[in-house]
Amino acid sequence: MKVFDELFHSLRLRIFLVVLIVGIVPIICLKFGVLRSYEDEMISDRSIEIQTQCNSVSNQLITYNYLYDPSSEKVNAELAQLSNIYDGRIIIVDSTLRIIKDTYSLDEDKTILSSEVIKCFQGENTIRYDEKNRYIELTVPVMDNMTGKEQSIVGVMLVSASADSIMVTLEDLTTKLNLLEVVAAIIVILIAVIFSKSIVNPFLKMTDSIAEWGEDVDEEAVSKTMTEFTETHLIAESFASLLSKMKSVDKTRQEFVSNVSHELKTPLTSMKVLADSITAMGDAPAELYKEFMTDMSEEIDRENKIINDLLSLVKMDKTEAKPQIQSMSVNDLIEVIMKRLRPIAKKRNIELVFESFREVTAEIDEVKFTLAISNLVENAIKYNIENGWVHVSLNADHKDMYIVVADSGIGIPEDSINDIFERFYRVDKSHSREIGGTGLGLAIAKNAILMHHGTIKVSSKVGEGTKFTARVPLSYIE
């Protein structure tokens, strides 16, 4: 049920429901509150009114000595009128709890044992509202007001008055309030529809315009459509930045692929030229063949080196390929590298020195770490001058080790220094090629150092020399 699922998860529906609940619940509460307090007030007003009238009747009861002789026409007429007005019943009880008058003439001469009556004799008036049967029941004391004496309660009037008329007014009010409630509910629904629409609209607009975005998303395209809410504007901006990042990744990838193809093609082209020219020569002397074959073999070696370097890079790029970390002596490792490279340095009479400030043991991936240091030292030899020097030093503090590879070589121009770690970047392409460079050595070295969560820095002066400093943590952090 995709439609229901979408509807249920729709932001608009949720905002609509929230506004609806927030709007309608108070209206309903208000209605019941108004009705309740109005009802309470009317019952209390009516009770006071009855009490006042009963007080004046109770005075007459004393005047006409009614408690002892309930035959007074005037009082009886008054009682009948009163019970008529309130559509109720009046019972008069004397001090012996005997009913001496009942306007319904049902219980006269009987004894009443109602708690209200007893309480009234004790000086406590009660007013009770029977909600179910809709009548008000109250007691009024009949006071003996003989002058010079303390007033005493000589009888009690027990009055039950119908609350039907109050209910009629209340029902009338309920109808009006219901009408008001319906009107208010319609207004709230309208507000909820408009409000939820106005909140959701910028998001829909944003979705539409993002779908319309082409290859190039400039600031203008972002700001033009997304100005209504700060939040939507921020989302649009993040999208734009994500898109530009993706474009840049794509550009780098394309550049890389075209660089790779170009680099791989160069040795092949040379080989093709060599092969074609020797074939075109017809009867060439055996020495020439040999020379051409040697050249071709060199080109094959070159092709091989590029492929091997690329494979090393690709291996390090794979994030899932876990480094083979083990704790080992970095001093020994560098010694081995130096030993391997010494013959190459010797060819150009370059002095190769390793200076170790202390014994350093670290958690490293032997193969990748060796690759990084070898490339740095190899470069220091390759881009050096005849009779120059290469200084490698190793030091450490409690956390990191520092490897410095300094040389007395040709140096790197300032405007190239930020690019040398890029794949296939070479300051002087033909020179690099001549000495067998692929342009991948420093990219490999940097990747290997980063893999160990380290950093690599370079400083250089043309004609004076170059210094690479690698900082690598002694313990490997996963």
Least distance (Å) from ligand ADP to the CB of residue 396?
A: 23
Longest dimension (CA), the chain: 165
Q: Which is nearer to ligand ADP, 323 or 439 (CB)?
A: 439
Place of tokens 């994500």: 242
Q: Which is nearer to ligand ADP, 323 or 465 (CB)?
A: 465
Binding interface with ligand ADP (CB under 6 A): 375, 379-380, 383, 407, 409-412, 420, 425-428, 432, 437-443, 466
Q: Is the Cα torsion angle 55, 57, 60, 62 positive or negative in sign?
A: negative
N- to C-terminal Cα separation, the chain: 44
Give the side-chain half-sphere CA count within 13 A for 177: 17
Q: Which is nearer to ligand ADP, 226 or 440 (CB)?
A: 440
The CA distances from residue 474 to 26, 321, 327, 467, in Å, are 66, 21, 9, 22
Q: Which is nearer to ligand ADP, 411 or 454 (CB)?
A: 411
53: its two tokens:
């009238």
Least distance (Å) from ligand ADP to the CB of residue 391?
A: 12
* Residue 381: other Cβ atoms inside 10 A: 21
DSSP letter for 416, please.
G
Least distance (Å) from ligand ADP to the CB of residue 354?
A: 16
Least distance (Å) from ligand ADP to the CB of residue 331?
A: 22
Least distance (Å) from ligand ADP to the CB of residue 445?
A: 7
Interior CA angle at 453 toward 427 and 461, to 5°? Answer: 30
d(CA 325, CA 365): 5
DSSP letter string over 375-415? HHHHHHHHT--TT-EEEEEEEE-SSEEEEEEEE-S----GG
Least distance (Å) from ligand ADP to the CB of residue 358?
A: 25
Least distance (Å) from ligand ADP to the CB of residue 324?
A: 24
Helix (H) or strand (E) holding 256, with range, is helix 230-280
Question: 458: Cβ–Cβ under 8 A, 6 or more apart, which residues?
Answer: 412, 417, 420, 466, 467, 468, 469
Q: Which is nearer to ligand ADP, 333 or 372 (CB)?
A: 372
CA-based nearest residue to 193, from 316, 19, 318, 65: 19
Least distance (Å) from ligand ADP to the CB of residue 283?
A: 40
Least distance (Å) from ligand ADP to the CB of residue 439?
A: 4
Least distance (Å) from ligand ADP to the CB of residue 435?
A: 8
Give the side-chain half-sphere CA count within 13 A for 374: 18
Q: Which is nearer to ligand ADP, 188 or 448 (CB)?
A: 448
Interior CA angle at 135 toward 130 and 136, to 5°? Answer: 85
What single letter denotes the amino acid at residue 292? Answer: F
